[in-house]
Amino acid sequence: MVKHQPLQVYERQLCLSCITGIYGCRWKRYQRSHDDTTKWELLWSLILLLTFFLLFVWSYFWWEADNDYNEFNWFLYNRSGEWTDGTVPILATTAAGFTYVSFLMVLALCHVALGQQLNLHWLHKIGVTAALLTTIIGIVSVNQTWGQEWDVVPISLQATGPFLHIGALAAATALSWIVAGQVARAEKTIFQVVVVLLYLSMLLGLYFLPIYITSPCIMDPSSLKPRPEVFGHQGDPMLAPENTLLSFQRALQMNVTGLEADVTISMDGVPFLMRDLTLRRTTDVEKVFPDRERDKASQFNWTDLQQLNAGQWFLKYDPFWTVNKMSLREKNLTAKQSVCSLEQLLRLASFHNSTVVFRLRRPPPEHPCYTTWINDTLQVVQQSGVPQSLVMWTPDDERAQVKSFAPGFIQTSLVKRTPKDLQSSGISRLLLRYNQVNTNDITDYSRNNISLTLYTVNEPWLYSVLWCSGVASVSSEAPHILKKVPYPIWLLRPNEYCLMWVSADLISFAVVIGIFILQNYHTIRYRMSGMRSYNPEQIMLSAAVRTSSRDINVMKEKLIFSVQPQ
């Protein structure tokens, strides 16, 4: 007769079962192990860690690139010919991937803290591999096609660096509980020394990292320069269709100092406002002139252009997710917008005493105004009656002729040059993308009386950083947002930041020392208590420490068989 008896009766460990079950599908007690993690699983742990850090950088990049989402969508439109919000799928997949990998990282740390063997389930391995490959492909693609946007990372660190440092310090301090537990339970001195040295190196690096953190917002508030003036880039294109009269009127309602536009010249010599090379995206040219929808905008005459609607596309595509906030009257006004001429813009600016800066696109060689484009534009400026002091002239072609015709124009360059070179050319203003200059450049231009305008600045954090850097003005697609920024988002005196830095380091150091002492105390007390403190599972694992994992699982699972005499 065979009698079956359970080896032991175990207590329920629901939390541990969930941790090991979700991570490695080890829901039952006999499936778990306190053995050292295999080299293969250690490799997967490193892959998981690498994926986590890559996804963190990728997520941070897209979080800070929100200032240029419209630029990214416009870039995609120029490549594909179709307008879509390409940031939505990228942000959704990035958020999902980062959440998933972060959750696995937390479960892995829980395994280490509880002394459980790491054994990532094969489905999770597929998921981590997919996340890693997708992130690498995304990084490579952005680097090849939109490489200039990576500059947003060091610029954004000037706004987030001090706070990211505090967050990293808090995470490293919390990690000390796991590190101290591993060191206290380890039996090999070499392992203890290596782990402690690695952890202390990381901790010391974080303690002294603020030495290399620089931000223009760490300054004496008394040195803060006046609030940068705001130019409406294509008006206020988040509230109304870009480069339309309604858009510029919306911008003027936000108290902008100036208006910025893109200018193309029609076949009959009329300068009009258009950013794209074609009319497909911002007009209904496919309905009015279906045979010419892919023709360049400069190949239409002004009579044809006046027949086009330049507002309905905005209501249809809702490029900035703002249409649902518009009233019925605003939607009706938007739907009736037409292509705006340069003369209309200049008259509006003159009425409001607002500065105007426009980028003039030269027509192609076969265009009838190819050689007269400068003169045609100058005549329109003169006819509009706008004061010369309100016009920022940007084309470098025939600049000497322009100076003699209109000496009151504000000569402006779109190319980064040295202050000495600009002064020798009689140029007093510079219009550049925000990533083309650093704090030293801004100071140098200001010292030489070169007024600097940076574009496109839509986010308060970027506006605050440039304000603290001493920028005179910015060009923005969101003047209604910047209007709500009367002061930099944060401003710290150097001694205040130093106090915050030292206090955080001291608190972290005290907590880490306390955790190490506490962990060692519990470990010593645990070992001195003898076998009475061991639970049945630990007794079995101690006895089988040199047996294979498969044998241990069998030992956990099998029953004691005893044969009774008949």
Confidence of residue 519 (pLDDT cuts 50, 70, 90): confident
Q: Give the mean model confidence (pLDDT) for residues 38-49.
A: 94
Please determine, for residue 512, whether its predicted confidence score (pLDDT) is greater than 80. yes
Query: Do residue 260 and residue 367 come from a single domain?
Result: yes
| Count of structural domains, the chain | 2
State the pLDDT at residue 356.
97
Q: What is the CATH number of the domain that holds 418?
A: 3.20.20.190
d(CA 193, CA 188): 9
Pairing relationship of beta strands 473-476 and 560-563 according to DSSP bridges: unpaired
- In terms of Cβ atoms closer than 10 Å to its own Cβ (0-12, 13-18, 19+), residue 562 is exposed
State the pLDDT at residue 37.
77
Q: What phi and psi, each to the nearest 5 degrees, are found at residue 364?
A: -65, 160
In a domain, 534, yes or no: no
Query: Quick check: 70 and 477 in contact, CB under 8 A?
Result: yes
Query: Do residue 142 and residue 270 come from a single domain?
Result: no
Query: Do residue 157 and residue 88 come from a single domain?
Result: yes
Query: Do residue 201 and residue 261 come from a single domain?
Result: no
Query: Do residue 190 and residue 261 come from a single domain?
Result: no
Query: Quick check: 58 and 138 in contact, CB under 8 A?
Result: yes
Q: Give the mean model confidence (pLDDT) for residues 94-100.
A: 97
Name the token pair of 222: 């008394």
- SS3 for 253-265, per residue? HCCCCEEEEEEEE
How does pLDDT run across 144-183, given as a tens digit for each residue? 989 999 999 999 999 999 999 999 999 999 999 999 988 8
Q: Which residues pair with 259 in a beta bridge?
A: 232, 356
Domain edge (last residue) among 426, 456, 483: 483
Query: Do residue 247 and residue 378 come from a single domain?
Result: yes
Q: What is the pTM of this model?
A: 0.87
In a domain, 8, yes or no: no
DSSP assigned state of 423 = H
Angle, CA 66 vertex, CA 60 and CA 68 arms, to 5°: 120
In a domain, 533, yes or no: no
Name the token pair of 479: 């003047």
State the pLDDT at residue 30.
55
In a domain, 110, yes or no: yes
Query: Do residue 365 and residue 259 come from a single domain?
Result: yes
Query: Do residue 478 and residue 512 come from a single domain?
Result: no
Query: Do residue 196 and residue 235 come from a single domain?
Result: no
Query: Do residue 128 and residue 150 come from a single domain?
Result: yes
Domain that holds residue 473: 231-277+339-483
Query: Do residue 351 and residue 405 come from a single domain?
Result: yes
Name the token pair of 419: 């202050």
In a domain, 254, yes or no: yes
Please determine, for residue 25, whether its predicted confidence score (pLDDT) is greater than 90. no
In a domain, 333, yes or no: no
In a domain, 558, yes or no: no
Please determine, for residue 556, whether its predicted confidence score (pLDDT) is greater than 60. no
Domain edge (last residue) among 457, 483, 509: 483
Q: Which residues contact 160 (CB under 8 A, 6 or more apart)?
A: 64, 461
Query: Quick check: 47 and 59 in contact, CB under 8 A?
Result: no
Q: Give the mean model confidence (pLDDT) for residues 478-495.
A: 96
Name the token pair of 391: 């016009």
Q: What percent of the chain has pLDDT over 70?
A: 90
Query: Do residue 441 and residue 511 come from a single domain?
Result: no
